[in-house]
Amino acid sequence: MNYFRLFDLPETFELDLTELGSRYLSLQKRFHPDNFAAGSERDRLMSVQQTANINDAYHSLKQPLLRAEHMLALRGLKISNEQRSFTDPLFLMQQMELREQLAELQDEVDPEAALFAIEQQIQQQRKQLLKALSEALVEQSAEQDQLAAELVRKLKFFYKLQQELELIEQQLQD
């Protein structure tokens, strides 16, 4: 299913999230199961299925990584559940260094300042990768799609790091 078509939106990474939300609400209202309560069993089941499709599509298009994965899947490159190792040693070293910094946070003289510095570094890297991903997805070629897939894989590391950072931040506050 093409989620962009479902919402009648252009197949682009840079989406107007306000427009997406508006179209989501409109589709939800149109296909809500309550509207089909008096209908046939088939109509009720189709309504429930369509509502589930709308929810899945909205969830995917709203989140940049899922949106990129969907775009790549539409282009024939499915990476959503793959388990693949990296061949970029510089990226892997950077990830190991960031993880070491996170592990050593509690030993810092000012852990909150160190946490803030790491968070800034992660956000800056994520922002750069998202920009590169957006640019790679503009051109629809096999080479750019492969680059986009690699950028998605790297971004997943940063999203996991961000989650770990938030857990550590909660622990420091407790």
85/158 Cα distance (integer angstroms): 15
Q: Are residues 99 and 28 in the same domain?
A: no
Q: Is 156 within the bounds of a domain?
A: yes
Expressed in angstroms, the distance from the first to the final Cα of the chain is 45
Domain count, the chain: 2
Q: Are residues 100 and 28 in the same domain?
A: no
Domain of residue 142 covers: 89-173
Tokens describing residue 134: 């957006």
138/123 Cα distance (integer angstroms): 23
Query: Cα torsion at 66, 73, 143, 65 (round to 10°)?
Result: 0
How high is the pLDDT of residue 60?
Answer: 97
| 86-115: pLDDT as tens digits | 678 899 899 999 999 988 887 888 988 999
Q: Is 72 within the bounds of a domain?
A: no
pTM for this entry: 0.86
88/102 Cα distance (integer angstroms): 21
Q: Are residues 140 and 93 in the same domain?
A: yes
Q: Is 118 within the bounds of a domain?
A: yes
Q: Are residues 156 and 120 in the same domain?
A: yes
Q: Is 82 within the bounds of a domain?
A: no
CB 64, CB 47: distance < 8 Å: no
Please report, rounded to a whole number, the percentage of residues in the chain having pLDDT higher than 70.
98
| 36-55: pLDDT as tens digits | 888 888 988 898 999 999 99
Q: Is 124 within the bounds of a domain?
A: yes
How high is the pLDDT of residue 85?
Answer: 64
Q: Are residues 165 and 96 in the same domain?
A: yes
Q: Are residues 96 and 159 in the same domain?
A: yes
Integer CA distances (angstroms), 6 to 34, 40, 49, 69, 159, in order: 21, 24, 13, 17, 27
Mean of per-residue pLDDT scores for the chain: 91
Q: Is 74 within the bounds of a domain?
A: no
Low-confidence ranges of the chain (pLDDT < 70): 83-86
